[in-house]
Each structure stands twice: as structure tokens, then as C-alpha cells.
Structure 1
């Protein structure tokens, strides 16, 4: 059984195409979004900027659009796709089944704004934070993808992979 079929079977839905961004600043800090369940703000987690494709846009176009909407950052050097994963999770009363591609990107623009958020994002995003690799490795907070600290450390130590690394599926 393929990973895609496993996620679909376990989640019972159609896969949503998603572009995510591993955004690094000049100090190699990663930008993460602090999210929460709209109906239970005590359920929180950190995640990478990104979201679903709209219309006929490419994943790269979606990555840049989502980054601008969610962070206000537009001065970006978008690099290669470094990771891919399938995930399925419950959020805002429904199941989300996603085929995610993670782009590596660099920026010197570290100031962020939350002006471009959708209604759902305004009800579920607490803020943004730049994390060092050490801070990410030490945190006890929930971070997605679940092994992001190790993935980031490998990325910083070895550089981007020659072909995208397929991450284990995450089903919650």
C-alpha cells in the first residue's frame, strides 16, 4: 500500500496539495507559526508557513503566496523542495488530508506581520517566532512535522538533499 493510499484510507478523504516553507534567516533561525485549535485554545502547536494550492498555481507559487499572507515576508529566495510528506489530522471540526512539499527558502527580512490571514487563520494563529536549532531541539512544545528539530539540524549540517526526502506519514 502506498503512503498516499494509507493516509487516504486512514483519513477517509481526498488529498489536499500543500506547499510549505522552511524559512531560514541569515542566522539560520527557522520561522514557525504558533497555532491552536479554534474551539480549544489550550491545544497548541508550532508549524511551518504554507497552505493549499489555489486555482492553477504551482506549488512554488503557493509557497510564496502563503508565506506572504501568513508572515508578511515577501523578500525571499525560494530554493528546492527538500522534504515531502503525507499527513492527516483533525482541525476546526474536520479532517485535513494533505500531500505536503517543503521548500527551503532564505530571507534577510525578519520582521513579520499577520495582516494577510484568512478568517480561519485569525481564529487559530497566536503568533510567529524565529527559532534557533538548539531552541527547537530543547522545546517540549508540539512541533510539526514531528521530527523537525532533527531534520533542521541535518539540513544545516549537510545542506539540502539532492532529491526530496520522503518523511514518514503523520496521522493524528
Structure 2
């Protein structure tokens, strides 16, 4: 990964990012609360949650990703899949569909969501906390026209603070960005799902990010 990431200005085509405008002074700026209620302190001292994520592909096998940053490390940003925490009493598929709607405005038919295609666990630092997240990843296809702007209406206050942009990525372009992409090796993982998923859930293990 040696090439600079494509910026919205440089892309200049339908695959360009949809940059998220900065919060106005009316929001007060900066973080307004800690991590959400779905996070709980586990026996190992880490904040823990279960999460559902979706690898969203369009008709050209481009993947819709989010770029975000940590408020404690504003110079570091990374691309990651759409999704988030599973609420109490919610199943993983319902959480995946809800998170896609809230973060992108795309309404998925649960019966059209494939998987889980992957599971994984990740340990990372975020929001001045040591965190562990167990993830269930699904796959869904939507037309590129299903996402045409970043609608922030369904975002939490934390998401408003840390999400910078959303965009469609071709796998070739994504393979050349020089910032982190999560899950690690996402390009190869997606290529392994093409042209169709083989029906086997792959367990990616525990990673430290």
C-alpha cells in the first residue's frame, strides 16, 4: 500500500466520497459522551460489545466503507465496514439491517442479506478506552444509486464526532490506500466472496488493531 488514498476532490466521479460536513459550533464540537450503552466492562477490564457489520457491494463489486477517526488521535483515520453494536434483545441480523439504515440510509431486506460470512474479534484502543469487540459480518448487494449522500439523521452523537466520510471503493483502489482498512485484508476477503458466497462462515480469529 504505497499510494495516497483517493480524496473526494481527486476522485471526481461516481465513486467519489461523500464527505461529512464538520459539526457546527451549535453542537459544541468534540466528543459529547463516552461509548454507547451497548458497551460493558468485562471481567478482563476491557470494554466489550458484540457487533454486526455488513459488507455492502454494488453492481460493480465496489464496497461501501466509512472513514473515521479517534477523537484522541485525530491524525489517525481508517476505513471500515458499515455496522455497529447489537442492542439488548436484538439478534445479529436485525442489528446489521438497523445499523445499515442508520449509517447510510439504505434499507435492506433481511432476506437479501447473506451470511454470516465472517466472524472475528478485535482488541483496540478507542475513545481513551481499551476495547474488545466480537463481530459478525454479513454480505449484501445494493445498487450504487441506493447510497447518494451521507444522511446523518440516524447517527449517534459519537458517530457525528468521529465519522468523516462514506464512499464506494473499487477493490483495486482500496488495495492501494495508505491508511488502515478494517478488517485487515478486506480486499482479499471480499474477493473470496465473489462471484457468490460459498455458504461457509470463516472465523478470522482475534486480532489486535
**TM-score scaled by structure 2?**
0.72
Give the Cα separation in 2 of the matches to 1:71 and 1:145.
19
Residue 161 of structure 1 and its aligned partner are, at CA, apart by 3.2
Alignment equivalent of 1:64, drawn from 87, 91, 97: 97
| Stretches of 4+ aligned residues off by more than 4 angstroms | none
Structure 1: stretches of 5+ with no match in the other structure: 1-7
Which is worse superposed, 131-140 or 118-127? 131-140
Alignment coverage as a number of residue pairs: 163
Deviations 1:6-44 (A, max 9, x none): xx89x6436411100000111111010000011332110
CA contact (8 A) 1:25 1:110 kept: no
Larger gyration radius, structure 1 or structure 2: 2
Aligned 1:1-12 pairs, distance under 5 A: 12=45
Give the Cα separation in 2 of the matches to 1:14 and 1:164.
26
Q: Which residue of 2 aligns with 1:142?
A: 180
Which is worse superposed, 40-49 or 160-169? 160-169
Give the Cα separation in 2 of the matches to 1:128 and 1:93.
24
Q: Which residue of 2 aligns with 1:103?
A: 138
For 1:151, what is the secondary structure of its paired residue?
helix
Aligned 1:1-172 pairs, distance under 5 A: 12-13=45-46, 15-76=48-109, 77-108=112-143, 109-112=146-149, 113-157=151-195, 159-172=196-209
**TM-score scaled by structure 1?**
0.87
Give the Cα separation in 2 of the matches to 1:163 and 1:41.
38
RMSD of equivalent CA atoms: 1.8
Residue 48 of structure 1 and its aligned partner are, at CA, apart by 0.4
CA contact (8 A) 2:115 2:199 kept: no
Structure 2: stretches of 5+ with no match in the other structure: 1-41
Residue 51 of structure 1 and its aligned partner are, at CA, apart by 0.8
CA contact (8 A) 1:21 1:50 kept: yes
For 2:101, what is the secondary structure of its paired residue?
helix
Residue 75 of structure 1 and its aligned partner are, at CA, apart by 4.1
Residue 168 of structure 1 and its aligned partner are, at CA, apart by 3.3
CA contact (8 A) 1:81 1:101 kept: yes
